[in-house]
Structure 1
């Protein structure tokens, strides 16, 4: 900015009598319908939305339980073929086991016990994703859009559980 002032012509030079105290600020008109505004006045920017550890554990317990119940409800409303019966049984077992073992992991008495339970949770959650893939890829008559949604949900749960297991591993070496 200072270098720019060195190269100004006489009629471009700033007024030597200029003072910021005498400057009048004007409010610019704002179109409320303008979608180009950069920020909403009620923005939550800068406020932490991070859950506490207890809130996260409670949230994840509820999420795994809800996802297991969704599988049970879906399987209750499907047909009755030999292939479907096998998949139904395995899918209900693995999803409910995942939710139950996560609850047990949260009550672990040591880091090693938590890690051991989380290994089971990851295994059961991965098995749930596998059975959902089988249902989605097979010719078994089920609602494929619901299966896809459940597959997405259980894949997200698997990623969360695998990360929790991974994070607990170094603590087992102490």
Structure 2
């Protein structure tokens, strides 16, 4: 949720201050989707559904990293802004990946999965 709030604030900054419309919408979509998919995964109907939802969150996180890098390289955000958001997004990616790996391991240990 905190990361999504930061992304919404970034979207507002890009829209209002930088007059940037295209990339700001892209990062808003991908950056807020991460938490939404994690939330869906918490109430997954099965272990496979959990893995699927978290895998979607992982892809959205990766896309968000792309937009952050592009925004930085095109000077829409400062290096300081980039590093701060990139660090948070990378940490989210690590947590999501770890959750997927853990669930896959537990799934492989249960008979008749």
Residue equivalent to 2:58: 122
Residue equivalent to 2:72: 136
- Structure 1 distance, partners of 2:63, 2:92, is 12
Residue equivalent to 1:152: 87
Residue equivalent to 1:88: 24
Residue equivalent to 1:165: 100
Give me the TM-score of the superposition, normalised by structure 2.
0.85
- Structure 2 distance, partners of 1:139, 1:96, is 22
- Structure 2 distance, partners of 1:137, 1:77, is 17
- Structure 1 distance, partners of 2:40, 2:33, is 10
Contact 2:7 2:32 in 1 (8 A): no
Give me the TM-score of the superposition, normalised by structure 1.
0.57
Contact 1:98 1:125 in 2 (8 A): yes
2:40 counterpart of 1:104: yes
* Aligned residue-pair number: 106
Contact 2:23 2:67 in 1 (8 A): yes
**1:74 Cα offset (Å):** 2.0
Residue 77 of structure 1: SS of its match in structure 2?
helix
Q: Which runs of 5+ in 1 are unaligned?
A: 1-64
Contact 1:136 1:148 in 2 (8 A): no
- Structure 2 distance, partners of 1:134, 1:162, is 23
Q: Which runs of 5+ in 2 are unaligned?
A: none
Q: Which has the higher contact order (CA 8 A, sep 6+)?
A: 2
Q: What RMSD, in angstroms, separates the aligned Cα atoms of the two structures?
A: 1.6
Residue equivalent to 1:67: 3
